[in-house]
Structure 1
Amino acid sequence: MRKEKDTEKGGQGGIEREVYCGIWPALSNNRIYGFIDALLVLSGYCIATWSYTQGSYLATLVGFKKLLIGAFLGAILMLLIYQLPVILSVRYGIDIWIWLRSIFGTSGVKVMTIIIILINFPWYAVCCELFASSMENLLGLFHIPLPEGSHLFLALLCVVIGTIIAYKGISTITWTTRVLVPLLLLVGVAVVIVGFTSVPADVIWNYVPQGADKSNSFISYILSIEANFAFVITLVGGMAGIPRLCKSEKSGFYAGVLGQGLSGSFFVVIGAVMAIAMQHVTGQMVDDPTLMMATLSVPALGLTSLLLVAFANIGTQAVGSYIYAVMLKSTFKKTSYHVLVIVLGVYVSILCVWGKIVDYFGSFLTISACIYAPLAALLFVDFFFIRKQRLDLKSAYEFKGHNSYHYTRGYNIIGFACLIGGSLLSLAIYNPVTGEIHNLHLFTLTPTGCAFLGTAIAYFLLCKLPFVRRYVRKDVSINPDKEPFDRNKVPPKQNLFAMPFIWLMCLICTFGTKLKVNKTGHKGIKPPFIVLGTHHSFTDFYVTPLALFPHRANYVSELEGFEYYGEWIYRQMGCLGTRKFVNDLALIKNIKRVIERKGILVLYPEARYANVGTSSKLPISVAKMVKLLKVPVVTLNMKGNYLQAPLWNLKKRREVRLHTDMIYALDKDEVKELSVEEIHQRLSELLSYDEYAWQREQKMSIRYRDRAKGLHLPLYQCYSCHEEFQMASSGSELICKACGAVYHMDEYGSLWLGKKEIYIPDWYEWQREQVNEEIESGRYILDIKVEVSALPNAKNFIDCGEGHLIHDGNGFSLTFYDYEIEKYRTLLWPCAQTFSIHTEYNYRGKGQCITLSTLDNTYFLFPLEEGFNATKIQFATEYMHSVTYAYNK
């Protein structure tokens, strides 16, 4: 409570600390509210003359019984959902406008803040106008003359007093509401008593609107529910600034629900009772409690109610000014809290001077209700389903190096698109200005309810799309999904209805390449059979479906593809998920299921793209699998796919033409009769390729300007001076930074050092020999710090921080922080178990990496030190495995 005392003294330090808690997370020792105080403040926030106005409006739509049910149940139902994100304010000690940076972006939330201020703060001008009217009405009953301009003076007086209370800080507001709210509740009770005693009770209890049309009673009832929803949902400010100062999540949540749902609704019902009673006595509905009390009771009671209702409006103005000043403070961090309170006061004053805010208030309410419903939906879905109650505070506060919520120039396009879509949906259902219903079926759910549900569903489904999920969930490391991928899930057939779109997409992606598929020996072949394809680039996935047309197939795919494009999409395309270079029995079982149901199984046995356009060694396990399955085998030897977009520079070369040899490699009898070694030999020959040799044969000129850019990644060792990791590339040249040698790449894929021609695959294989010699001499070792990212499933990567990678004659040793056991551990991959590794030269823009996999996780390793080259590590892995395999054999 020391902080509260400092604030009471009015010192700048006390005020600033209070506001500081509105910007930075409020720690437990900064929390000043228990349930009662929070309830009183939020009750004071929503108890104002506009509650009576809302009650009188509802009385024009429905009978008292329906009004009573709708006012309480409608409001509480909406609040029970709408207030749930208040939990985050208490848990993190932050304003929801800090959380909204994740939905709209760090710059986008500034725009939203200003919009909300512009469309919502006119409520307080209405409050001041009603305060002035109440004073004028009651003074008129006492025959006290008022000079010209007194209405504006009284309205501005409400602004000034409310601004002064807000200026003094939250402590003054707290003590004001501790006194004010109980007294206001007593006034409310008095109004109910006077209303029911001044007229027969059944007049109110059995009240129905005059001239009510039974045929339109349903529409009127829906309008009353909509009015309750809209009235409650526009109290967004109350859920923003107060709960962060509560001591418990329950206090913050229930204070909002009960303060706004019970106290606010109670005064709405009071307004209805008052309006019904006044109509019965005077023939005219009146929403001014002071006028009602003076008319139906004694002037002294009317005078008492005047003072308390006046304080209600002033208190609401004070609480609102504080809440919205804190909201603005979170956007304009360097601006003084006092200045922001004064600016808000000036804005309300301008509206009061204008004098027509009450006349045009319907327009403000229309716009605000249309925006608040989708805003509430976005907050709700984002909190529970997208970010699952976890926020990256460093990104929310824009710490250096933490930009998860920066999005597109500071704006989250998805969040704004859903907000606009939800607002348009509300207007498409009902025009509250003209009262025209455009869609009666959706109107049944209320425009606010539909806008809330529509926005929630749209945002949820959009975030299921992989590219949207990656865009929105850049903070995924804060709350990652740790559940391992279900390797045993039976793969579905390719979706029959999706096949036309798949083939069309493949045609579009290969358009202009003059793709030719040369089929040999395929007459009469029917599924089931296995397709083994060479693996050059992503283009392989466009060529294969066209080669197999009109058949459907299942494809073995690595999990990073599932994660990138989405598991549902990959499942519809018939993909089987696995990890590279692991012995996965679950995969073999699923492959057998595909064959047993007479399907086609496509496998790319190299398991990675070609580094320099030449084939990798075919694992003997592929031949063993063929022998096990006892079905025919078809090979696809694709040509041009690597040349079109090599792994080290994915920019497409438009000059490249594509060709595929589709060969009936083994029939069922041959699979049965040949040995594993003979099958392996035949398949190795059929799947062998050399892209640069084929380019020369075809006399295919590639004039792409930067055709050598990136080639230094697979060709990492200078062919002249033998220095490692000193190669660079630019345009059509490779340059050695150690000896200055410049290698020019011609249009046919050859490198020239002066007049000396160097064949790229020869250079590549020469490097392999250098690594082999290094291993044999005992000089090879990799000991390096790496960044570790784990991929346990098809949903997200998990940042494991910095790790330590060792690669030597014993295999791989990786020490890192394991999120599963929440401590450091070391994983080993012995040489005998590691046939090869997956290599990347610029994985998703992060640079070189290799991957090491277990059955339930794949670890992507990015270097944090010099001396790391994916190609060299691959060479070493393959050679050490071959030596160990030969020794064990």
Structure 2
Amino acid sequence: MSKEFGKYVRGGAPETKKFDMNAPLIKQRPFAMPFVWGFSYIRKFLHFGKLNKVRMKGVKPPYILLCNHNAFFDFYIMSAAISPNRGIFPAAVDDYIGREWGLRRLGAIPKRKYTADISLLRVCRKALKEKQIFGIYAEARYSLCGVTEVIPDAVGQLVKHQGVPVVTLTCRGHHIYDPFWGNHRKRWVHPVQADMVLAYTPEELKKASAEEISEKIKNLLYNDDFRWQSENHVKVSYKKRAEGLHKVLYQCPHCMTEFKMNSKNDKVFCEHCGKSWTLNYYGELEADDGKTEFKFATDWYKWEREQVKKEVLDGSYRFESQVDVNDLPNSKGFVHMGRGTLVHDMTGFHLKGVRDYDGEPFEMNIDAAGQYAVHVEYNYRFGNHRDCIDLNTLEDTWYVFPEHCDFSVTKVSLATEEIFNEIWRQRNEKRKTAKAEE
């Protein structure tokens, strides 16, 4: 691996062997589970973890477990919650770098983010047939700001026809402990909390529509970590607790300038107008001078979404940048492909470039109507600590690093979701109009 491109990134021709997405399912090894459960219970104990179970009496595998996703710490609480049972869980292909052998034997199956992979349904049915727990982190990524991210409506359709109970596990406090934007600097947070709820019995699933199931699951998995921290008076005294938060809060609500936010220690500030906010011990924002626009970072994040939505509705949204591109063919790591140009607009993602090793062109196009969300990274550890956008097809995973411009991958993420929503809103309206005219 080359230090030039980053850890687990090499130059040269790409690997011919790619991830085997259809490899046989491997049950979690019984001899390994006591270690997994033991370590998970220790982590739960150290954070005074509270697990509230609702309607769970008598619920045994097989069942589907749907979880929210704030941090890696989620896995410890989940393992403790389902013990002494084992589970099968999809995991993003980048999780397998350098550890595929172990992950597969712990019950993980590879998945490319935000792709319509029907093999997931096949694996789900096989796991349930073998009387196991099939787990899904419904957001398919860590929450960027501690509030539940988009959950696709297809979740309701997936679980309705499996004929097994549906359980939700909602973790709270994990984003505060290890925020996605926090440069992997963990805070001491206690207690943390999780709610494990039997959402549907098989009989209840038969009576409910897929839309009703999706809506209930979204409500059960909803979490706002900063609001939870404030309401439960969970104190975080870490001096640098706000560092990195500007990665999410990229637009100043005072002067409306984008991409000029920064953070240091317990403060978030705008380098354009000079206004600053302090993140207090209890997850609340306080303006150092003048009006406090948002008490919680999650409300600021939702406001940014509304600003992006306005650009989408008036058709003005467009992002174009020179980019550096890494390919992830398998668990050995990334291969540096070369540089090119990325355009993100109302039609989707369009990436073109030239490969370093042979001068041949490469290209990826992703239709906006089929991309309900996109995964982004802040200070990605396998990309020389740069922000990036993770683009996936059923065959490829490319990590794309914008260069030589002011940008926010958070805005790209929000725009992807709002463009998708607007496209399908318009299509559904046309269908309703066409039916009404028949």
**Structure 2 length normalisation: TM-score?**
0.92
Match in the other structure for 1:739: 273
1:846 maps onto 2:385 in alignment? yes
Matched, 1:869 2:403: no
Per-residue CA deviation, residues 787-842 of structure 1 (Å, 9 max, x unaligned), is: 11111222221111112100011111011236999721322111111000001111
Secondary structure of 2:81 counterpart: helix
Moved more, 725-734 or 622-631: 622-631
Cα distance, 1:632–1:867 mapped onto 2, change above 3 Å:
same
| Alignment CA distance shift 1:829-1:497 (3 Å) | same
1:570 matched to 2:103: yes
1: CA distance between counterparts of 2:44 and 2:170? 16
Structure-2 residue corresponding to 1:542: 76
1:855 aligns with 2:407: no
The letter of the residue matching 1:483 is: K
> 8 Å contact 2:337–2:357 — kept in the other structure?
no
Alignment of 1:724-803 (within 5 A): 724-753=258-287, 754=289, 756-757=291-292, 758=294, 759-803=296-340
Alignment equivalent of 2:152, drawn from 593, 596, 619: 619
Q: Is residue 2:353 matched to residue 1:816?
A: yes
1:704 aligned to which of 222, 238, 254: 238
Tell me the equivalent position of 1:411: none
In structure 2, distance between residues paired with 1:822 and 1:630: 53
CA–CA distance in 2 between the matches of 1:695 and 1:523? 29
Equivalent residue number for residue 28 of structure 2: 494
Flag the structure with higher helix content. 1
Letter in 1 for 2:318: I
Q: Does 1:591 align with 2:128?
A: no
Tell me, yes or no, if the aligned pair for 2:9 and 2:336 is still in contact at 8 Å: no
Which structure has the larger Rg? 1
Deviation for aligned residue 1:475: 6.9
CA-to-partner distance for each residue in 1:716-761, whole Å, 9 max, x for gaps? Answer: 0011000000011001111111101111111111111136332211
Whole-angstrom CA distance in 2 between matches of 1:593 and 1:571:
16
Identity %: 35
CA contact (8 A) 2:171 2:195 kept: yes
Alpha-carbon distance in 2 for matches of 1:788, 1:620: 31
Stretches of structure 2 that go unaligned for 5 or more consecutive residues are 429-438
How far did 1:480 drift?
A: 5.0
**Distance between the aligned counterparts of 1:477 and 1:862, measured in 2?**
16
Change (3 A) 1:576 1:740: same
Evaluate the alpha carbon distance shift between residue 821 and residue 832 of structure 1 in structure 2; reply closer, same or farther with a 3 A threshold: farther
Residues 403 and 840 (structure 1 numbering): CA distance in 2 closer, same or farther, change over 3 Å? closer
Q: After superposition, where does 1:162-181 map in structure 2 within 5 Å? A: none
Pairwise CA distance, 1:850:
1.2
Residue equivalent to 2:256: 722
SS at match of 1:749: coil
Distance 1:402 1:888, change over 3 A: closer
Alpha-carbon displacement from aligned partner over 1:529-576 (angstroms, at most 9, x marks no partner): 000001001111111000101101111100111114x11100111001
How far has the Cα of 1:486 moved from its partner?
1.1
Equivalent positions of 1:76-475 (< 5 A) are 402=4
Cα distance change on mapping 1:831 and 1:479 into 2, 3 Å: closer
Question: Compared with structure 1, are the counterparts of its residues 743 and 502 closer, same or farther at alpha carbon in structure 2 (3 Å cutoff)?
Answer: same
In the alignment, the residues of structure 2 paired with residue 476 and residue 497 of structure 1 have an alpha-carbon distance, to the nearest angstrom, of 36
- Determine the C-alpha separation between the residues in 2 that align with 1:627 and 1:821: 49
**Partners of 1:488 and 1:587 within 8 A in 2:** no
Q: What are structure 1's unaligned runs of at least 5 residues?
A: 1-391, 396-400, 405-469
Taking a change above 3 Å as real, the CA distance of residues 755 and 657 of structure 1, as seen in their structure-2 partners, is: farther
State the superposition RMSD in angstroms: 2.0
- Measured in 2, the distance between the counterparts of 1:869 and 1:876 equals 11
Match of 1:663 in 2: 197
Decide whether the 8 Å contact of 2:9 with 2:333 is kept in 1: no
Partner of 1:553: 87
User: Per-residue displacement from partner, 1:612-656 (whole Å, max 9, x unpaired)?
Assistant: 111112201111110232221100010111110101102111133
Q: How many residues align?
A: 422
Q: What SS does the corresponding residue of 2:128 show, helix, strand or coil? A: helix
Q: Deviations over 1:295-319 (max 9, x none)?
A: xxxxxxxxxxxxxxxxxxxxxxxxx
What CA distance in whole angstroms lies between the structure 2 residues aligned with 1:612 and 1:652? 15
Secondary structure in 1 aligned to 2:46? coil
Contact 1:480 1:796 in 2 (8 A): no
CA distance in 2, matches of 1:860, 1:674: 40
From the superposition, tell whether residues 627 and 655 of structure 1 become closer, same or farther in structure 2 (CA, over 3 Å): closer
Which residue in the other structure is 2:166 paired with?
633
Alpha carbons 1:481, 1:795 under 8 Å: kept: no
